[in-house]
Amino acid sequence: MFGFGVLKGMSVTLWNFILSYIYPKKGITTVQYPEKKKEVEERFRNFPFLVYDGTPDNMRCVACDICAKECPPKCIYIIPEKDAQGRIQKKPATFDIDYAICMNCGICEEVCPFDAIFMDHEYELSEYDRLSDLMYPKEKLLKPVEHFMKIRPTDCGAIEAQRAAKGIKGRAAQVQSAPAATVKPAETQQNPPANA
Partner 1 sequence: MEASDTIFVAFKKAILGFLQGFLPDWTVVIVSILISITAIAIFGPVTMMYLTWLERKVVGRIQNRYGPNRVGIFGLLQPIADGVKMLTKEDIVPQAADKVTHFLAPVIVVIPALLVFSVLPFGKGMAAVNLNVGLLFFLAISTMSTIAIFMGSWGSRNKFSLLGGMRAVAQMVSYEIPMVMSVVPVILVTGSLSTVSIVEAQLGGKWFVFTPWGFFAAIVFFLCGVAEVNRTPFDLPEGESEIIAGFHTEYSGMKFALFYMAEFMSAFAISGLTATLFFGGWDGPFLPSWVWFLIKAYAMIFIMIWFRGTLPRLRVDQLMGFAWKLLLPFALLNIFVAALWQLLPAPKNLIVAGAAEAVVLVVIFVAARKDSPQKRTYIFAD
Least Å from the CB of residue 32 to partner 1: 8
Contact 17, 94 (CB under 8 A): no
CA gap 119, 24 in Å, rounded: 35
Does residue number 2 form part of the binding site for partner 1 (CB under 8 A)? yes
Do 108 and 96 contact (CB within 8 A), yes or no? no
Residue 8 or 87 having the CB closest to partner 1: 8
Q: Is 36 or 87 the residue whose CB approaches partner 1 more closely?
A: 36
Nearer to partner 1, 37 or 74 (CB): 37
- Residue 148 to residue 52: CA distance in whole angstroms: 10
Residue with Cβ nearer partner 1 (30 or 85): 30
List 22, 30, 87, 194, residue binding partner 1 (CB under 8 A): 30
Binding site for partner 1 (CB under 8 A): 2-3, 6, 9-10, 12-14, 16-17, 20-21, 27-30, 32
